[in-house]
A and B are shown apart, each in its own frame.
Chain A
Amino acid sequence: MTIYLQAIGMLAGLGGGMAILLLVANRFIANYGECSIKINEEEPFTIEGGRSLLDVLYERKIFIPSACGGQGTCGFCKIRAYYGAGPVLPTELPFLSVQEQDDNVRLACQVKIRQDLVIRVKEEYLNVKEYKAVVTKAEMKTADTREVHLKLIEPEEMEYRPGQYVQIFVPGTGETTFRAYSIASAPSSKKEIELLVRLIPGGVGSTYLHGVREGDEIALTGPYGDFVLDMSKETELVCVGGGCGMAPMRSILRHVAEVNPEQRGSLFFGARTDRDTMYFEDFQELAKSMPNFAVHYALSEPESSPEWDGETGFIHESVIRNVGSEGERQAFLCGPPPMVQATIKALTEKGMPRERVFYDEF
Chain B
Amino acid sequence: MHADATFSTLVVVFLAAILTNNILLSKFLGMCSFIGISRNIHTALGMGIAVTFVTFCTAVLNYAIYYGILVEGAPWCAADLTYLSFLCFIMVIAGFVQLVEMVLERFIPALYYNFGIFLPLITVNCAILGVSLFMIDPNLKFGFKQTAAYGLGSGLGWMLAICLMAGIRQKLELADIPKPLRGLGITVIITGLMAMAFLGFQGIVDLG
Contact = CB atoms under 8 A, between A and B. Distances in A.
Nearest to A91: B113
A2 B81 CA distance: 12
Nearest to B114: A90
Interface residues of B, number: 23
A26 B92 CA distance: 17
- Classify the interface of chain A: helix, strand, loop or mixed: helix
A15 B84 CA distance: 13
A11 B84 CA distance: 8
B102 A6 contact: no
Contacts of B102: 22, 25-26, 29-30
Contact of A22 (B77, B88, B98): B98
Interface residues of A, number: 24
Interface stretch (B6-14, B104-112, B164-172): B104-112
B109 A89 contact: yes
A87 interface: yes
Given A21-B99, A22-B95, A14 B65 contact: yes
B108 to A, nearest CB: 9
Interface string A16-60: 001001100110011000000000000000000000000000000
A98 interface: no
A264 B69 CA distance: 88
Interface in B98-134: 98-99, 102-103, 105-106, 109-110, 113-114
B95 A18 contact: yes
Nearest to A21: B95
Interface in A230-285: none
A143 interface: no
A86 interface: yes
Nearest to A5: B79
Contact of A90 (B69, B91, B113): B113
Contact of A7 (B84, B92, B98, B109): B84
Contacts of B70: 10
Contacts of A22: 95, 98-99, 102
Given A6-B79, A11-B88, A18-B91, A30 B105 contact: yes
Given A29-B106, A112-B109, A10 B81 contact: yes
Nearest to A110: B113
B174 interface: no
Contacts of A11: 84, 87-88, 91
B46 to A, nearest CB: 12
Contacts of B98: 22
A18 B92 contact: yes
A10 B110 contact: no
Most buried by B among A11, A29, A86, A91: A29
Contact of A3 (B65, B79, B87): B79
Nearest to A13: B69
5 contacts: A3-B81, A7-B81, A10-B69, A29-B103, A90-B114
The 5 nearest A-B residue pairs measured at CB = A18-B95, A89-B113, A87-B110, A29-B102, A6-B79
